[in-house]
């Protein structure tokens, strides 16, 4: 591992994008499963009762929003930086 002084300028943003992607994937999967369990589609209504699925589904809104922003904002910034569409000098 390189010392902190020799790392690329966007090392921290890349790490935020990488680290936030796995929990985001799990939250999105849980969000979809609980949503389908609420509606009873694809046999997921028999896995978990609708009231419990709704409670879990409602609890996932906050973490989903936080992880989505934590993942997408640095990723979008890095993409614009790669494409040369930012005016921020380093």
Distances (CA, A) of 68 to 4, 35, 36: 27, 18, 21
Q: Is the pLDDT assigned to residue 19 strictly greater than 60? A: yes
Tell me the C-alpha distance between 34 and 47, whole Å.
10
Cβ neighbours of 71 (radius 10 Å): 20
**Residues 23-63: tens digit of each pLDDT:** 999 999 999 999 998 888 787 778 888 899 999 999 999 99
Contact 44, 37 (CB under 8 A): yes
Tell me the C-alpha distance between 4 and 40, whole Å.
51
Q: What is residue 65's predicted lDDT score, i.e. its pLDDT?
A: 96
């Amino acid at each position: 591992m390189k010392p902190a002084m020799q790392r690329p300028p966007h090392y921290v943003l890349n790490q935020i994008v990488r680290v936030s992607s796995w929990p985001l994937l799990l939250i999105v999967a849980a969000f979809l499963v609980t949503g389908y369990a609420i509606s009873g589609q694809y046999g997921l209504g028999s896995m978990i009762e609708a009231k419990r699925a709704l409670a879990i589904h409602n609890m996932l809104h906050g973490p989903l929003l936080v992880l989505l922003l934590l993942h997408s904002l640095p990723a979008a910034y890095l993409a614009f930086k790669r494409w040369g569409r930012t005016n921020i000098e380093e």
